[in-house]
Amino acid sequence: MCAECTRAHKRSLASRKHSVLTIKELQNSGLDVFRRKIVCTKAGHEGQQLAFYCTKPGCETSICTACTVCDHERSKGHQIINVQDLYLLKKTELEQFFKTWDTDMSSVKFVLQQTEQELLNIDIKELEVEKDIDDAFERCQKILAQRQRQLKDQLATLCEQKKGRIQAYVETLEGYLDSAASARDFSNHVINHTDPTEFVPLHSTLMQRLKKMSALKVEDMFLLTFLLYCV
């Protein structure tokens, strides 16, 4: 905006409370200037920063300083905590969860590598068996040529069937890793680009979805791998 527009913006009833920065100030500012600041909307408290959080069951909401006096007195069982402290606590909880999850992801990647190697081994083994079959039938009479073809066809069919099962398992593992990466990126985006007062109510939903996704146990994956290879 130009200088005249800026003055008009500050005079307007609808925009007088907006924060106006110069281009230079904006360039020197961090991400905080882009975060939406949620303020109290209770009558008489309009515009006050939601600096606290009531953890009392049934409340569990962000409140302003005036709310702590009017509606959330400690004497009535309300438990008040600084919203920034709660934000750091919830953020730490999420970070600790990711540390545990990283271990699970390492196990999944290991299983994926082993499965991909098994695919390569099948191709190698197929070539070896084909060569053995060819060598054996070259020493046989022409009457065995038809049987030779039958055995090779059976081999190819069996290998394709097994490769198909393993390939489906590879795709499942890759899909799980992609979903996990997307969930983590989304969670990090929420952590880094939302105001603490906006982040706290989202935390429970985030944790529920992340825990549901991590419910797939790596031990079950190893069991499935064992059964798949033994079939």
pLDDT at 193 (0 to 100): 86
Percent of the chain, pLDDT > 70?
78
Give the integer Cα–Cα distance in Å for 84 and 71: 20
User: Residue 163 pairs with which residues in a beta bridge?
Assistant: none
In the predicted structure, residue 50 carries a pLDDT above the cut 70: yes
Distances (CA, A) of 182 to 127, 153, 187, 201: 39, 43, 9, 21
pLDDT at 219 (0 to 100): 47
pLDDT by residue (tens digit) across 180-221? 889 889 888 888 888 888 888 888 888 888 887 777 655 456
What type of residue is 86?
A: L
pLDDT at 88 (0 to 100): 94
Residues 6+ apart with CB under 8 A from 159: 122, 126
229: nearest Cα among 172, 160, 177, 163: 163
Give the integer Cα–Cα distance in Å for 1 and 20: 9
104: nearest Cα among 204, 181, 207: 181
pLDDT at 120 (0 to 100): 93
Average pLDDT for 26-47: 70
The CA-CA-CA angle for residues 63, 68, 70, to 5°, reads: 110
Average pLDDT for 89-114: 92
pTM beyond 0.85, yes or no:
no
pLDDT at 41 (0 to 100): 84
What type of residue is 95?
A: E
Choice among 32-41, 58-67, 94-103, 182-191 with the minimum mean pLDDT:
32-41
- 206, two tokens: 């985030």
Distances (CA, A) of 110 to 80, 189, 225: 46, 27, 12
203: nearest Cα among 99, 100, 87, 102: 87
pLDDT at 127 (0 to 100): 93
Where is pLDDT greater, at 67 or 148? 67
148: nearest Cα among 136, 164, 161: 136
pLDDT by residue (tens digit) across 140-172? 777 777 887 888 999 999 989 888 877 877 787
Give the integer Cα–Cα distance in Å for 38 and 50: 7
74: three-class secondary structure by DSSP: helix
Q: How many other β-carbons are positioned within 10 Å of the β-carbon of residue 199?
A: 21
Average pLDDT over the chain, rounded to an integer: 81
> How close are the terminal C-alpha atoms of the chain, in Å?
71
